[in-house]
Amino acid sequence: MAISVDPPEVSKRHCQKMGFTYPFLSDPKAEVVRRFDLLHPGAGPGGADISRPAEFLIDATGTIRWVNLTENAAVRARPEQVLKAFDQGSAQADR
Amino acid sequence: MKRRWNWPLWTGFLLALAGLFSYAVFAQFPITRDFPWANLLLFGTGGIVLILGLARAFGRPQVYRGKMFGPILAVLSLLAFTLFDYGVLYELRQMPASAGAPRVGEKVTEFTLPDQNGKAVALTDLLSSSDGAVLIFYRGHW
Protein backbone atom coordinates (compact mmCIF):
# COMPACT_ATOMS: atom_id res chain seq x y z
CA MET A 1 0.00 0.00 0.00
CA ALA A 2 1.07 3.54 -0.66
CA ILE A 3 0.90 6.41 1.83
CA SER A 4 1.27 10.14 1.26
CA VAL A 5 -0.17 13.44 2.44
CA ASP A 6 -2.34 13.66 -0.69
CA PRO A 7 -6.11 13.66 -0.01
CA PRO A 8 -8.15 10.64 -1.20
CA GLU A 9 -9.51 12.38 -4.28
CA VAL A 10 -6.03 13.24 -5.53
CA SER A 11 -4.86 9.67 -4.91
CA LYS A 12 -7.92 8.33 -6.73
CA ARG A 13 -7.20 10.43 -9.82
CA HIS A 14 -3.60 9.28 -9.76
CA CYS A 15 -4.62 5.61 -9.45
CA GLN A 16 -7.10 5.92 -12.29
CA LYS A 17 -4.50 7.62 -14.48
CA MET A 18 -1.74 5.12 -13.74
CA GLY A 19 -3.89 1.99 -13.35
CA PHE A 20 -2.87 1.23 -9.77
CA THR A 21 -5.21 -1.17 -7.97
CA TYR A 22 -3.68 -1.37 -4.48
CA PRO A 23 -4.66 0.89 -1.58
CA PHE A 24 -3.40 4.48 -1.60
CA LEU A 25 -3.81 5.80 1.92
CA SER A 26 -4.15 9.48 2.77
CA ASP A 27 -2.33 11.03 5.71
CA PRO A 28 -3.01 14.75 5.12
CA LYS A 29 -1.81 15.84 8.57
CA ALA A 30 1.25 13.58 8.24
CA GLU A 31 0.45 11.88 11.55
CA VAL A 32 1.52 8.39 10.49
CA VAL A 33 4.40 9.93 8.52
CA ARG A 34 5.62 11.57 11.75
CA ARG A 35 5.15 8.37 13.72
CA PHE A 36 7.47 6.65 11.25
CA ASP A 37 9.88 9.64 11.48
CA LEU A 38 9.64 10.18 7.73
CA LEU A 39 8.55 13.81 7.71
CA HIS A 40 10.32 16.08 5.24
CA PRO A 41 9.32 19.53 6.54
CA GLY A 42 8.64 22.18 3.92
CA ALA A 43 9.78 20.02 1.02
CA GLY A 44 6.47 20.06 -0.80
CA PRO A 45 4.99 22.76 -3.06
CA GLY A 46 4.46 26.02 -1.19
CA GLY A 47 6.51 24.73 1.74
CA ALA A 48 4.10 21.88 2.50
CA ASP A 49 5.25 19.12 4.82
CA ILE A 50 5.47 15.84 2.96
CA SER A 51 6.83 12.36 3.50
CA ARG A 52 10.33 11.42 2.43
CA PRO A 53 10.35 8.33 0.18
CA ALA A 54 10.66 5.05 2.07
CA GLU A 55 9.58 1.45 1.69
CA PHE A 56 8.95 -1.16 4.40
CA LEU A 57 8.27 -4.85 3.96
CA ILE A 58 6.07 -6.12 6.80
CA ASP A 59 5.24 -9.75 7.43
CA ALA A 60 1.86 -11.10 8.57
CA THR A 61 2.80 -10.64 12.26
CA GLY A 62 3.43 -6.93 11.74
CA THR A 63 7.20 -7.30 12.01
CA ILE A 64 9.36 -5.24 9.68
CA ARG A 65 11.50 -7.48 7.48
CA TRP A 66 13.13 -4.95 5.13
CA VAL A 67 13.59 -1.20 5.07
CA ASN A 68 14.64 1.09 2.23
CA LEU A 69 15.32 4.72 3.19
CA THR A 70 16.56 6.21 -0.05
CA GLU A 71 19.07 9.04 0.17
CA ASN A 72 18.00 10.30 -3.25
CA ALA A 73 14.36 11.09 -4.02
CA ALA A 74 14.93 9.98 -7.61
CA VAL A 75 16.11 6.50 -6.59
CA ARG A 76 13.39 4.16 -5.34
CA ALA A 77 13.27 0.46 -4.55
CA ARG A 78 13.09 -1.73 -7.62
CA PRO A 79 10.44 -4.50 -7.66
CA GLU A 80 13.15 -7.17 -7.74
CA GLN A 81 14.65 -5.77 -4.52
CA VAL A 82 11.34 -6.06 -2.71
CA LEU A 83 10.66 -9.55 -4.08
CA LYS A 84 14.12 -10.70 -3.02
CA ALA A 85 13.54 -9.36 0.50
CA PHE A 86 10.16 -11.11 0.57
CA ASP A 87 11.70 -14.40 -0.56
CA GLN A 88 14.45 -14.14 2.04
CA GLY A 89 11.88 -13.48 4.74
CA SER A 90 9.77 -16.44 3.62
CA ALA A 91 12.84 -18.72 3.60
CA GLN A 92 13.68 -17.74 7.17
CA ALA A 93 10.12 -18.32 8.28
CA ASP A 94 10.12 -21.81 6.76
CA ARG A 95 13.20 -22.91 8.75
CA MET B 1 31.40 38.74 -47.88
CA LYS B 2 28.31 37.34 -46.24
CA ARG B 3 29.18 35.57 -43.03
CA ARG B 4 27.96 32.05 -42.45
CA TRP B 5 25.40 30.95 -39.89
CA ASN B 6 27.23 29.51 -36.87
CA TRP B 7 25.09 26.40 -36.36
CA PRO B 8 27.24 24.86 -33.55
CA LEU B 9 26.25 27.74 -31.26
CA TRP B 10 22.54 27.11 -31.67
CA THR B 11 22.91 23.33 -31.68
CA GLY B 12 24.93 23.41 -28.48
CA PHE B 13 22.35 25.67 -26.86
CA LEU B 14 19.48 23.41 -27.92
CA LEU B 15 21.33 20.36 -26.59
CA ALA B 16 21.73 22.15 -23.25
CA LEU B 17 18.01 22.90 -23.17
CA ALA B 18 17.30 19.28 -24.04
CA GLY B 19 19.57 18.23 -21.18
CA LEU B 20 17.53 20.35 -18.79
CA PHE B 21 13.98 19.53 -19.88
CA SER B 22 14.35 15.93 -21.01
CA TYR B 23 14.77 14.69 -17.42
CA ALA B 24 10.98 14.73 -17.22
CA VAL B 25 11.05 11.92 -19.80
CA PHE B 26 14.18 10.12 -18.62
CA ALA B 27 12.87 10.13 -15.04
CA GLN B 28 10.25 7.57 -16.07
CA PHE B 29 12.94 4.91 -16.48
CA PRO B 30 15.10 3.84 -13.50
CA ILE B 31 18.18 3.36 -15.67
CA THR B 32 18.22 7.03 -16.64
CA ARG B 33 16.58 8.35 -13.48
CA ASP B 34 18.75 6.89 -10.74
CA PHE B 35 21.80 8.67 -12.15
CA PRO B 36 21.05 11.22 -14.92
CA TRP B 37 23.80 10.07 -17.27
CA ALA B 38 21.67 10.71 -20.38
CA ASN B 39 21.12 14.33 -19.39
CA LEU B 40 24.77 14.84 -18.49
CA LEU B 41 25.65 13.37 -21.88
CA LEU B 42 23.39 15.92 -23.57
CA PHE B 43 24.98 18.75 -21.58
CA GLY B 44 28.46 17.47 -22.35
CA THR B 45 27.79 17.17 -26.05
CA GLY B 46 26.14 20.58 -26.07
CA GLY B 47 29.13 22.09 -24.31
CA ILE B 48 31.58 20.66 -26.83
CA VAL B 49 29.52 21.88 -29.77
CA LEU B 50 29.15 25.34 -28.16
CA ILE B 51 32.90 25.60 -27.68
CA LEU B 52 33.34 24.73 -31.36
CA GLY B 53 30.87 27.48 -32.24
CA LEU B 54 32.65 30.03 -30.03
CA ALA B 55 35.99 29.07 -31.55
CA ARG B 56 34.56 29.74 -34.98
CA ALA B 57 32.94 33.02 -33.94
CA PHE B 58 36.08 34.44 -32.32
CA GLY B 59 38.67 32.64 -34.41
CA ARG B 60 37.20 33.43 -37.81
CA PRO B 61 34.82 36.36 -37.25
CA GLN B 62 35.07 37.35 -40.88
CA VAL B 63 33.61 33.95 -41.87
CA TYR B 64 31.24 33.09 -38.99
CA ARG B 65 28.68 35.04 -37.01
CA GLY B 66 28.25 34.76 -33.28
CA LYS B 67 30.69 37.06 -31.50
CA MET B 68 27.77 38.72 -29.76
CA PHE B 69 25.11 36.09 -29.28
CA GLY B 70 27.59 33.21 -28.89
CA PRO B 71 28.62 34.18 -25.33
CA ILE B 72 24.96 34.86 -24.49
CA LEU B 73 23.96 31.36 -25.59
CA ALA B 74 26.94 29.93 -23.73
CA VAL B 75 25.96 31.67 -20.48
CA LEU B 76 22.34 30.56 -20.85
CA SER B 77 23.51 26.98 -21.44
CA LEU B 78 25.71 27.18 -18.36
CA LEU B 79 22.75 28.45 -16.34
CA ALA B 80 20.65 25.52 -17.58
CA PHE B 81 23.41 23.11 -16.55
CA THR B 82 23.72 24.74 -13.12
CA LEU B 83 19.97 24.64 -12.59
CA PHE B 84 19.88 20.97 -13.52
CA ASP B 85 22.77 20.09 -11.22
CA TYR B 86 21.20 21.98 -8.34
CA GLY B 87 17.82 20.31 -8.79
CA VAL B 88 18.77 16.77 -9.66
CA LEU B 89 22.20 16.25 -8.13
CA TYR B 90 21.73 18.35 -4.96
CA GLU B 91 18.12 19.12 -4.07
CA LEU B 92 16.79 15.58 -4.64
CA ARG B 93 19.45 14.27 -2.27
CA GLN B 94 18.49 16.53 0.64
CA MET B 95 16.69 13.92 2.71
CA PRO B 96 15.96 14.15 6.46
CA ALA B 97 17.96 11.76 8.63
CA SER B 98 14.89 9.76 9.80
CA ALA B 99 16.96 8.24 12.61
CA GLY B 100 13.74 7.27 14.38
CA ALA B 101 12.29 5.31 11.46
CA PRO B 102 11.31 1.73 12.28
CA ARG B 103 14.07 -0.81 11.83
CA VAL B 104 14.17 -4.44 10.73
CA GLY B 105 12.85 -6.69 13.49
CA GLU B 106 10.61 -4.06 15.09
CA LYS B 107 6.85 -4.29 15.19
CA VAL B 108 5.13 -1.68 13.08
CA THR B 109 2.70 0.62 14.89
CA GLU B 110 -0.93 0.15 14.03
CA PHE B 111 -2.71 2.86 12.09
CA THR B 112 -5.96 3.45 10.21
CA LEU B 113 -6.14 5.82 7.26
CA PRO B 114 -8.67 6.46 4.46
CA ASP B 115 -7.90 4.94 1.07
CA GLN B 116 -8.47 6.55 -2.33
CA ASN B 117 -12.21 5.80 -2.06
CA GLY B 118 -12.49 7.34 1.40
CA LYS B 119 -12.83 3.94 3.07
CA ALA B 120 -11.00 3.54 6.39
CA VAL B 121 -8.25 0.94 6.08
CA ALA B 122 -6.54 -0.53 9.16
CA LEU B 123 -3.05 -1.98 8.78
CA THR B 124 -3.93 -5.01 10.93
CA ASP B 125 -6.88 -5.84 8.67
CA LEU B 126 -4.61 -5.79 5.63
CA LEU B 127 -1.98 -7.94 7.35
CA SER B 128 -4.52 -10.47 8.63
CA SER B 129 -5.75 -11.15 5.10
CA SER B 130 -2.34 -11.54 3.46
CA ASP B 131 1.20 -12.87 3.85
CA GLY B 132 2.45 -9.38 4.52
CA ALA B 133 2.46 -5.93 3.05
CA VAL B 134 4.76 -3.39 1.47
CA LEU B 135 4.33 0.12 2.84
CA ILE B 136 5.43 2.70 0.28
CA PHE B 137 5.71 6.22 1.62
CA TYR B 138 5.94 8.72 -1.22
CA ARG B 139 6.20 12.50 -1.50
CA GLY B 140 2.83 13.08 -3.16
CA HIS B 141 1.75 16.35 -4.78
CA TRP B 142 1.96 14.69 -8.19
Report pTM.
Answer: 0.81
Instruction: Tell me which chain B residues have a C-beta less than 8 angstroms from the C-beta of A75.
Output: 30, 33-34
CB distance A36–B104 less than 8 Å?
A: no
Instruction: Give me the residue spans of the domains in chain B.
Output: 7-93
B88-110 pLDDT tens trace? 999 999 999 999 999 999 999 99
Please report, for residues B7, B93, B99, the alpha-carbon distance to residue B35 in angstroms, rounded to integers and kept in the order given. 30, 12, 25
What is the ipTM for the molecules in this complex?
0.91
Strand A64-68 to strand A2-4: parallel, antiparallel, or no bridges (unpaired)?
Answer: unpaired
What is the tens place of the pLDDT at every residue in B38-48?
Answer: 999 999 999 99
Contacts of B8 (CB under 8 A, 6+ apart): B49, B50, B52, B53, B56
Q: What is the spatial distance between Cα B124 and Cα A60, in angstroms, rounded to a whole number?
A: 9
Minimum CA–CA partner of A50 in chain B: B139
> Which chain A residues are Cβ-neighbours of B138 within 8 angstroms?
2-4, 51, 53
